[in-house]
Amino acid sequence: MTRAIYLAPWRIDLDVRDGVSLPIAGAALARAIAEALTAAGAPSPASIGLILTDDAELAGLNAAHLGKAGPTDVLSFPLLPPEAFPDHQGGAPERAPATTTASRAMAASAFPLPPGRSQHLGDIVVSVERAVEQAEGGRGGQTGDVRWSPAHELRLLVTHGTLHICGWDHAEPIEGDAMRALEQRLLAR
């Protein structure tokens, strides 16, 4: 099932693969994405893709794009450079600063678009199968030690994936702490 969900100024292109059963409404996941895009200062109007699938598809993508064997819970495929988004607490120190609105706009418009078209920010791919397993097994929350509902885990994973699209990372401890803090604020809403 594929459909577009409009939450101005965002369009979330939701694709639920055949055979995947959702423990939460797609519209709720779209709202989580919209809130994360707004919090991260993503250029707007824009679209983003959300693909909800299974472990097999994530394992293939994980091997092809990261060279890692086995499935993972979420992968993000950003189309814009981190400089297209506002600087944030815990941002990578080597990242070129985009401190002005003009410089962010220039980075965000790296790909010329036809008139009236919105920028596509990228795609997030989530294994619903892995999210359910992590939540029910007490290995959720991106920390590996949270037991909560599969719906909560999916909201976290789409929020996490959206922040990656927007240039957030957790490779360094300060980045990870800032990213986790923002995720928790967004999930508390």
CATH number, domain with residue 88: 3.40.390.30
**pLDDT at 112 (0 to 100):** 65
Q: What tokens were used for 56?
A: 């097999």
In the block, which residue shows the tokens 């990372």?
A: 169
- Helix ranges (H only) for 19-111 are 26-40, 55-66, 101-108
Give the separation between CA 142 and CA 121, rounded to whole angstroms. Answer: 23
**pLDDT at 123 (0 to 100):** 98
**pLDDT at 30 (0 to 100):** 98
Helix axis angle, 128-136 to 150-165, nearest 10°: 130
Give the separation between CA 9 and CA 16, rounded to whole angstroms. Answer: 22
Residues paired with residue 110 on neighbouring β-strands, in sequence order: none
**pLDDT at 92 (0 to 100):** 55
**pLDDT at 94 (0 to 100):** 52
What is the 8-class DSSP label of residue 138? T
Q: Which of 47, 51, 48 is nearest to 117 (CA)?
A: 47
Q: What is the largest CA-CA distance in the chain?
A: 49
The low-confidence residues of the chain, meaning pLDDT below 50, are 95-107
**pLDDT at 99 (0 to 100):** 45
Amino acid at residue number 110: A
48 in Cβ contact with 162 (< 8 Å): yes
**pLDDT at 102 (0 to 100):** 43
Give the separation between CA 72 and CA 84, rounded to whole angstroms. Answer: 27
pTM as predicted: 0.86
Range of the domain at 135: 2-187
42-63 pLDDT, tens per residue? 999 999 999 999 999 999 999 9
Number of domains making up the chain: 1
